[in-house]
Chain A
Amino acid sequence: MGAELTAILDASVRVLDAETALMLRFQAGESACFEELVGRFQGPLLGFVYRLVRDRAASEEILQEAFLRVYLHRARYQPQARFSTWLYRIANHLALNYLRDHRRERLHDSLDEPEEEDAAPRELADRRPSAEQVLVAASVEQQRSARIRATIAALPARQRSAVVMHKYQGLDYDEIAGALQLSSSATKSLLFRAYESLRRELKDLL
């Protein structure tokens, strides 16, 4: 019976993408598939969540929660949607909840505030004044990067998520639409408006 089930699953998932197939095998009881999924998605998903919440520790917590929910609610997964879509939907939901709960703290966030990964070079700059030119260039780069980060952060929540999924995670329209629970045309419209806002706000850097 077990072998038959595995054969049927193997046949049916051949047409699905690899991650969805792994998820279906995990649903069928193969725990090792869950570890494989965590290994495959933890890096990209951290990049996605970090771009939304901009706090490494909080991003890690959100990731833990997202994978935990996948584990606990594996029976609810339906292969109509790709596994990545389902996972991004969960992570996006958790990240937006986090941002809503910490809105007051985020109000103090400013353009001048260095991002976590920007902080180390700045400290290095303090210690090595001899490399002045290099540091000036790095500082300009940091400022541009901070400006882009802040402009994306200022977008409405759905537009922000859509831009990060499209531009930085490489998700296609259908995947973004599935993750945001929108139609494909609504997703395209959302992305168009988001990019137009970004173009307007960043025109002096273009």
Chain B
Amino acid sequence: MKREIPPDSDPLMQLLEEWQPQPELSPSFEQRLERRIQDAAAGPGARWRRWRAEVSPQLRWASAAVTMALLLTLGVFVYRGSNAEPPAPAAYQTAQVDPVMRDLQTLTNDGDLLEHLDFLSVPMSSTSKIQDRD
């Protein structure tokens, strides 16, 4: 089989003709290219220098003031964030203890108290014996 590129008269080549997109360049194409070339030729920082040259001094001062204000606001927020009171430790957060647990705790405390009160009966009898001896 001969490996040849199809000629223009080939149906495939004629079919491919149907795809004819016609993109157009934007009117600012050459202007933008010129600018990019100027930037590239001027080296790094060219955009910044061009902005400075193009913008009026009043606008430069205004943008500097806005930037300062934003930085100050940011600084205040950061400062406040670092000096905020830490949250209360868990030990102090007793207000939300479960009522059932609180009742059980009360019962335990009462039981302890009653146990400690038992000693009252024992010394009472012994002291009476001592008094009897006297």
Chain A positions near chain B (C-beta within 8 angstroms): 38, 42-43, 46-47, 50-51, 54, 56, 59-60, 63-64, 67-68, 71-72, 115-117, 141, 144-145, 148-149, 152, 166-167, 188-189, 191-192, 195, 198-199, 202, 205-206
Using A166-B5, A195-B6, A198-B12 as known contacts, say yes or no to A64 and B32 having CB atoms under 8 A apart: yes
- The smallest beta-carbon distance between A194 and chain B, in angstroms, is 9
The answer for the CA separation of A64 and B39 in the assembled complex, in Å, is: 13
**B40 and A68 contact, CB distance less than 8 A:** yes
Closest 10 CB pairs of A and B: A148-B19, A50-B23, A192-B3, A206-B11, A56-B23, A199-B12, A145-B19, A117-B21, A71-B37, A191-B5
Give 20 CB contacts A-B under 8 Å: A38-B30, A46-B23, A47-B23, A51-B19, A60-B26, A60-B29, A64-B36, A67-B33, A68-B36, A71-B40, A116-B23, A141-B18, A144-B15, A145-B20, A148-B19, A167-B13, A188-B5, A195-B5, A195-B6, A199-B12
The answer for the CA separation of A192 and B10 in the assembled complex, in Å, is: 13
**B23 and A148 contact, CB distance less than 8 A:** no
